[in-house]
Amino acid sequence: MATGGVLSGIRVADFTRVLAGPYATMMLADFGADVVKIESPGGDETRSWRPPVDRDGNATYFAAINRNKRSVVCDLGVEDGLRTARRLARTADVVVENFRPGVMQRYGLGFEQLAAENPRLVYCSITGFGAGAGAELPGYDLVVQALGGLMSITGEADGPPLKVGVALVDVLTGLNAFSGILLALRRRDQGGGAQRLEVDLLSSLLAGLVNAGSAALTTGRSPSRNGNIHPSIAPYETFEAADRTIAVAVGNDQQFAALARVVGLPELGADARFADNGLRVQHRAELHDLLQDRFGRETGEDWQERLAAAGVPAGVVNSVAEAFELATRLGLGMVVGEEGGPRQAADPIRLSGSPATYRMPPPPLGAAVSPQWLDVREGDAR
């Protein structure tokens, strides 16, 4: 299917479901790859994860991560379905799968089996905990957030561990898969042969812990829950304005002096307790009380405007709908789709010469695929 995108001509056989894999393959599809979603007769589980639904009754969860694809039903337990799946995989540039380790091999769809017929194949496997000792562990985002330490540092200091508001580990893993596939395709373009790429949710989370992970590895002590404060920077937290919550992120002494002037406490800039960031962290509670008293006197929008004018990073806590409205006002173009119809978040990667395109809505289960996929001549493996 010619699309004109930077990945035009790249065929992707997508054996994934739920979130991490479909997110990665949607990113490939946004930039022109021809992606066929290979589904069981029951379809991707997220088709039934409702409410909410769009105006046509389709689950918005499924719609969020499956645009620009087509769907074919392949019952791998039936010979005809398995034959079709193998034909799709043998002629693809990229195969992406997130079955438990060993399942694809059992169906003759493993990396070694396909690479023997398709020597330029990029094969991406996505698991929860790798293909070794963790192969049988269930790869659900909530479980990985728990086992991977993210919940232990999320929430108020005196409250219970909390998950992040979206399946963030799945998203991180999907992005890693997308990046890895592009790296493998680049290596193929340089003359490399078939290559297997493996990403897993736990590794993606641990890498994504960045400074929290580094602190644990370096000191041997795990960070604790701190609510909205930053353990190494102050003030870097939320305050309650007269009408709503506002986040303030002061990263240096100049910004702190500007903050002190805006809130009407210029003397704080010269206060020995708050002379530098280390001291502000040490006296965080005292500083918070002084600032909270001032923030509570005016609205969040008013503080946001005044702090922005002074060069102090700050923003009110928006709802999701308000966040999309902000992006629209800023001209970021983060909403695609017609008003009143299916609307989605746009692809966040902006290329000047070969931008993402939005060619097809999320596919109905079993929507037809193009002849170039299924009418494959014997020996046409690419």
Pairing mode of beta strands 314-316, 245-249: antiparallel
- Burial zone of 83 (CB within 10 Å; 0-12 exposed, 13-18 middle, 19+ buried): exposed
- Compute φ and ψ for 97, nearest 5 degrees: -140, 150
CA torsion 334→243→227→211, rounded to 10°?
40
Catalytic residue among 54, 93, 170, 347: 170
The answer to whether 44 touches 62, Cβ cutoff 8 Å, is yes
Show the tokens assigned to 156.
């108020």
- The SS3 of residue 137 is coil
Instruction: Please state, in angstroms and rounded to a whole number, the distance separating the CA atoms of residues 95 and 112.
Output: 12
Instruction: Strands of the chain (E only): list them.
Output: 11-15, 34-39, 69-73, 94-97, 122-127, 195-200, 236-240, 245-249, 314-316, 335-336, 344-345
Note if 170 is an active site residue: yes
Instruction: Please state, in angstroms and rounded to a whole number, the distance separating the CA atoms of residues 11 and 114.
Output: 15
Q: 13 pairs with which residues across the strands?
A: 36, 95
Q: For 146, which DSSP code? A: H
Q: Which of 379, 342, 375 is nearest to 360 (CA)?
A: 342
Active site residues: 170
